Amino acid sequence: MQIVYHPSRVEWEQVIRRPLADADTLQAKIRGVLDDVKTKGDSAVREYTERFDGANISRLRLTPEEIEAGAATVPQALKDAIDRARANIEAFHSIQREEPQVVETMPGVKCWRKSVGIEKVGLYIPGGTAPLFSTLLMLGIPARLAGCKEVVLCTPPDHHGNLHPAILYAAKAVGLTSIFRIGGVQAIAAMAYGTESVPRVYKIFGPGNQYVTGAKQMVQQEGLAIDMPAGPSEVCVLADATAHPAFVASDLLSQAEHGPDSQVLMVTTDETLAGKVMTEVQRQLQELPRKDVAERALAHSRIVVVTSMQEAMELVNEYAAEHLIIACANPGLLAEGVVNAGSVFLGAYSPESAGDYASGTNHTLPTNGYARAYSGVSLDSFVRKITYQELSPDGLRRLGPTVVDMAEAEGLRAHARAVQIRLNTLS
């Protein structure tokens, strides 16, 4: 992990650059898988599952008995933890429901908006070296609250074709039954195009590596909706002299262990703290089971020392982190200056891990700088907001001339006539 001292603004772009794969090579590989699944369906899915996951799968969808049996093997302590997290996530997302509010914009003209759940959604849950059953809670709970009629879950199997028991318990806890042992690009393709076994969906949710993110973006170009560009995980820690070096180091490592393409960034005004955190990172790194993964992520991560807190805030907003931790003396005050971030964690005792698992906020967040324009997943992500209007005869009399004048000015005579013919009838 590199320490960068007092970079000029010209150097900022280089300092906060994310690690990227060769885009042309990446897209070519993704396109090949997408096309194969689109034309060959289940047989292509099974072929790629064997090639990439080492699992020979004859039946892609799990039976209710398999779900029940797998969920039953989860230790009680973990069941309790999942249930606690589920309750908190549900509590936070439940208050996001909106009831229709009728607005009478003028006498006789009523307008309102109604939230309707997206009928068919697909959830992608990363697995592999770290089965993210927590992500299932983050996506499954708002999908259920939104009233989505069909929820398809895809997650990669192990070499034996099995899914992690905690994923099955979490799915059972939120009421998901359409579960497929499919990962990677082939999972995105199966949900996007549909196969003999996998239903086609209208919107795909879930984070993943650069291949999964690239696949989501490519099927989006073909008319399928996605949640957001959510790729490799990242964190930025804004720290001053009051920050605890061990706390900061643990936050950096908690993201670095996600994957080799993850990135962590620390921005501080204190050179002494930078050195202490670097030392602490190296010490804690030796204790991690995923040390090799974290080391590879740290290779393209940085600690940046700047002159003032104002400059630090500007750099943090320029980075637009997925997760932003403010480990400073006045976190609430500084938080008022945050304009680009996926989710913000205030103070020494608000680790990013809390939001990842169980505080209640959603951890499916925009990465790679997309926090400048995207929000994290919420209940709104799973609904369409349909607008309605109803005009009474008196309302049309009042509003009609305005519409006629505007339509005539735009040269759209049929629009004007649709109103005028009604006005003539009323008169």
Q: Give the residue from 227, 244, 265 where a domain finishes.
A: 227
Rounded to whole angstroms, how far apart are CA atoms 420 and 427?
10
For CA atoms 192, 198, 203, 207, the dihedral sign is negative
* C-alpha closest to that of 185 among 365, 18, 32: 32
Lowest mean pLDDT among 9-13, 17-21, 144-148: 17-21
**255 assigned to a ligand binding site:** yes
Question: What is the per-residue pLDDT for 261?
Answer: 87
If you average pLDDT over residues 379-400, what whole number do you get?
A: 98
Rounded to whole angstroms, how far apart are CA atoms 111 and 426?
22
Higher pLDDT among residues 24 and 126, named by residue: 126
Q: Are 314 and 415 part of one and the same domain?
A: no
Question: What is the per-residue pLDDT for 208?
Answer: 82
- Percent residues over pLDDT 90 in the chain: 92
User: Would 382 be classed as within a structural domain?
Assistant: no
**356 assigned to a ligand binding site:** yes
Q: Looking at residue 410, which CATH number applies to its domain?
A: 1.20.5.1300
Phi then psi for residue 309, to 5 deg, are: -70, -30
AA letter at 342: G
- On average, the pLDDT of the chain sits at 96
Question: What is the per-residue pLDDT for 407?
Answer: 98
User: Would 312 be classed as within a structural domain?
Assistant: yes
User: Would 333 be classed as within a structural domain?
Assistant: yes
Question: What is the per-residue pLDDT for 152?
Answer: 98
Rounded to whole angstroms, how far apart are CA atoms 403 and 420?
9
Q: Are 182 and 72 part of one and the same domain?
A: yes
pTM above 0.75, yes or no: yes
Three-state SS string over 321-368 comes to EEEEEEECCCHHHHHCCCCCEEEEEECCCCCHHHHHHCCCCCCCCCCC
Integer-rounded Cα Rg, in Å, for the chain is: 25
Q: Are 267 and 172 part of one and the same domain?
A: no
Q: What six digits make up the tokens of 167?
A: 């994923």
If you average pLDDT over residues 405-421, what whole number do you get?
A: 98
Q: Are 244 and 335 part of one and the same domain?
A: yes
Q: Are 34 and 134 part of one and the same domain?
A: yes
Question: What is the per-residue pLDDT for 129?
Answer: 64
* Phi-psi map region of 334: left, alpha, beta (phi>0 left; psi -120 to 50 alpha): alpha
Helix-helix angle 165-174:133-146, to 10 degrees = 20
User: Would 111 be classed as within a structural domain?
Assistant: no
**233 assigned to a ligand binding site:** yes
Three-state SS string over 191-231 comes to HHHCCCCCCCCCEEECCCCHHHHHHHHHHHCCCCEECCCCC
Q: Looking at residue 7, which CATH number applies to its domain?
A: 3.40.50.1980
Q: Are 283 and 296 part of one and the same domain?
A: yes
Residue whose token pair is 């897209």: 27
Angle at 296 between CA 211 and CA 290, to 5 degrees: 95
By the 8 A CB rule, do 364 and 343 touch? no
Rounded to whole angstroms, how far apart are CA atoms 58 and 60?
7
User: Would 383 be classed as within a structural domain?
Assistant: no
Q: Look at residue 365 and tell me whether its pLDDT is greater than 70.
A: yes
Q: Are 143 and 171 part of one and the same domain?
A: yes
User: Would 262 be classed as within a structural domain?
Assistant: yes
Q: Are 80 and 127 part of one and the same domain?
A: yes
If you average pLDDT over residues 309-315, what whole number do you get?
A: 98
Distances (CA, A) of 108 to 48, 114, 386, 395: 60, 20, 20, 4
Q: Look at residue 387 and tell me whether its pLDDT is greater than 70.
A: yes
Helix-helix angle 23-40:184-193, to 10 degrees = 50
Question: What is the per-residue pLDDT for 233?
Answer: 87
pLDDT band at 22 (very low <50, low <70, confident <90, very high): low
| Count of domains forming the chain | 3
Q: What six digits make up the tokens of 68?
A: 């029940």
Q: Are 10 and 28 part of one and the same domain?
A: no
Q: Are 155 and 30 part of one and the same domain?
A: yes
Residue 155: exposure state from Cβ atoms within 10 A (0-12, 13-18, ≥19): buried
Per-residue pLDDT of 66-103, as tens digits, reads 999 999 999 999 999 999 999 999 999 999 999 999 99
* C-alpha closest to that of 320 among 25, 101, 9, 17: 17
pLDDT band at 272 (very low <50, low <70, confident <90, very high): very high
Rounded to whole angstroms, how far apart are CA atoms 153 and 140?
9
Q: Are 339 and 312 part of one and the same domain?
A: yes
Residue whose token pair is 């099974």: 46
* C-alpha closest to that of 257 among 346, 327, 345, 353: 353
Q: Are 338 and 306 part of one and the same domain?
A: yes
Question: What is the per-residue pLDDT for 21?
Answer: 62
pLDDT band at 25 (very low <50, low <70, confident <90, very high): confident
CA torsion, ordered 358, 230, 62, 132, to nearest 10 deg: -40
Rounded to whole angstroms, how far apart are CA atoms 52 and 42?
15
Q: Please, how many CA atoms are within 13 Å of residue 338, restricted to the half-sphere of its CB? A: 25
**258 assigned to a ligand binding site:** yes
**66 assigned to a ligand binding site:** no
Per-residue pLDDT of 173-227, as tens digits, reads 999 999 999 999 999 999 999 999 999 999 999 988 889 989 999 999 999 999 9
Q: What six digits make up the tokens of 188?
A: 């995105």
By the 8 A CB rule, do 177 and 122 touch? no
If you average pLDDT over residues 130-141, what whole number do you get?
A: 93
Q: Give the residue from 227, 246, 263 where a domain finishes.
A: 227
**Structural domain span for residue 411:** 392-426
The catalytic residues are 322-323
Q: Give the residue from 227, 258, 288 where a domain finishes.
A: 227
**415 assigned to a ligand binding site:** yes
User: Would 351 be classed as within a structural domain?
Assistant: yes
Q: What six digits make up the tokens of 411?
A: 């040269």
**160 assigned to a ligand binding site:** no
pLDDT band at 427 (very low <50, low <70, confident <90, very high): confident
Lowest mean pLDDT among 37-51, 207-221, 321-335, 394-408: 207-221
User: Would 107 be classed as within a structural domain?
Assistant: no
Q: Look at residue 367 and tell me whether its pLDDT is greater than 80.
A: yes
If you average pLDDT over residues 123-134, what whole number do you get?
A: 85
Question: Per-residue b/e over 165-203, b at no fewer than 16 CB within 10 Å?
Answer: bbbbbbbbbbebebbbbbbbbbbbbbbbbbbeebeebbb
If you average pLDDT over residues 118-129, what whole number do you get?
A: 90
**186 assigned to a ligand binding site:** yes
